């Protein structure tokens, strides 16, 4: 029995040895640093995707959906209550005409719906949420400009500083607790 156990330990050690040498060679070779650069780039891309989610908007019940795609392109929409004469209280969806994320900086413009469009210029910041998936883990702060086109095709713009909080994400696993 002892001989079998000793043989298993020797074989395991022999099999692990080439892997250890290979990892040491990669770490010391010039190609090893390129690998680490590649992994940090993919980490940055994943960081941008981490901003994807549903954020509060101007009024209770309204929200902003942001989806970060590969390459920093952003899709999404605003779901809001209409405030014009013909759509007062109706729920309207305004999709992004274009959107771009560069680092933490987000810019987007919505399509025009019932004579209203929005432009946003701002950045994602860490909020008071303790863990990913918590409410306000990220906050989107910046300037929102509402453009209203009247019947005479005259555009009136109104800008304001805003802070949109990330909604809590259901189904996010709770962090493991240590005992």
CATH number where 120 lies: 2.40.128.30
Both 84 and 160 in one domain: the answer is: yes
Compute the mean pLDDT over every residue in the chain, rounded to the nearest whole number.
79
Report yes or no on 75 lying in a domain. Answer: yes
Both 40 and 65 in one domain: the answer is: no
Report the distance separating Cα 93 and Cα 129, nearest Å. 27
Within 10 angstroms of residue 35's Cβ, the number of other Cβ atoms is 12
pLDDT above 90 covers a percentage of the chain that reads 58
- Whether 6 shows a pLDDT value over 50: the answer reads no
How is the beta sheet containing 74-81 ordered, strand by strand?
Answer: 53-56, 63-68, 74-81, 91-102, 105-110, 116-126, 138-149, 155-165
Report yes or no on 177 lying in a domain. Answer: no
At 37 the pLDDT is: 41
Both 40 and 125 in one domain: the answer is: no
At 171 the pLDDT is: 56
Both 13 and 88 in one domain: the answer is: no
Both 152 and 115 in one domain: the answer is: yes
Specify the number of domains making up the chain: 2
Report yes or no on 174 lying in a domain. Answer: no
> Is the separation of the CB atoms in 116 and 101 below 8 Å?
no
Strands (E), the chain: 53-56, 63-68, 74-81, 91-102, 105-110, 116-126, 138-149, 155-165
Both 71 and 16 in one domain: the answer is: no
Nearest to 100 by CA among 123, 132, 117, 127: 123
- Whether 53 shows a pLDDT value over 80: the answer reads yes
At 84 the pLDDT is: 80
- Predicted confidence (pLDDT) per residue in 80-118, tens digit: 999 888 888 889 999 999 999 999 999 999 999 999 999
Name the residue range of residue 38's domain: 2-45
Report yes or no on 151 lying in a domain. Answer: yes
Q: Please, which contacts does 149-155 make with residues 24 or more away whose CB atoms are closer than 8 Å?
A: 149/112, 149/115, 149/116, 150/115
Report yes or no on 176 lying in a domain. Answer: no
Enter the pTM of the model. 0.69
Both 156 and 77 in one domain: the answer is: yes
Report yes or no on 172 lying in a domain. Answer: no
Report yes or no on 173 lying in a domain. Answer: no
Report yes or no on 8 lying in a domain. Answer: yes
- Predicted confidence (pLDDT) per residue in 19-44, tens digit: 333 334 444 444 444 444 444 333 34
At 46 the pLDDT is: 62
Both 34 and 114 in one domain: the answer is: no
Contacts of 57 (CB under 8 A, 6+ apart): 63, 64, 78, 79, 80, 164
- Predicted confidence (pLDDT) per residue in 61-83, tens digit: 999 999 999 888 999 999 999 98
């Amino acid at each position: 029995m002892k001989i079998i156990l000793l043989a298993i330990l020797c074989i395991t050690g022999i099999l692990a040895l080439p892997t250890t040498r290979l990892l040491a060679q990669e770490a010391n070779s010039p190609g090893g640093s390129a690998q680490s650069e590649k992994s940090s780039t993919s980490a940055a891309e994943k960081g941008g995707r981490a901003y994807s989610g549903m954020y509060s908007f101007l009024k209770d019940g309204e929200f902003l959906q942001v989806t970060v795609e590969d390459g920093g392109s952003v899709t999404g929409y605003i779901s809001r209550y209409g405030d014009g004469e013909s759509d007062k209280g109706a729920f309207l969806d305004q999709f992004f005409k274009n959107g771009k994320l560069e680092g933490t900086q987000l810019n987007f413009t919505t399509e025009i719906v019932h004579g209203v469009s929005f432009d946003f210029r701002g950045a994602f910041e860490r909020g008071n949420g303790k863990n990913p998936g918590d409410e306000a883990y990220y906050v989107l702060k910046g300037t929102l400009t509402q453009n209203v086109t009247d019947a005479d095709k005259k555009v009136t713009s109104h800008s304001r500083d805003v802070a949109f909080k990330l909604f809590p994400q259901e189904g996010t696993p709770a962090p493991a607790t240590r005992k």
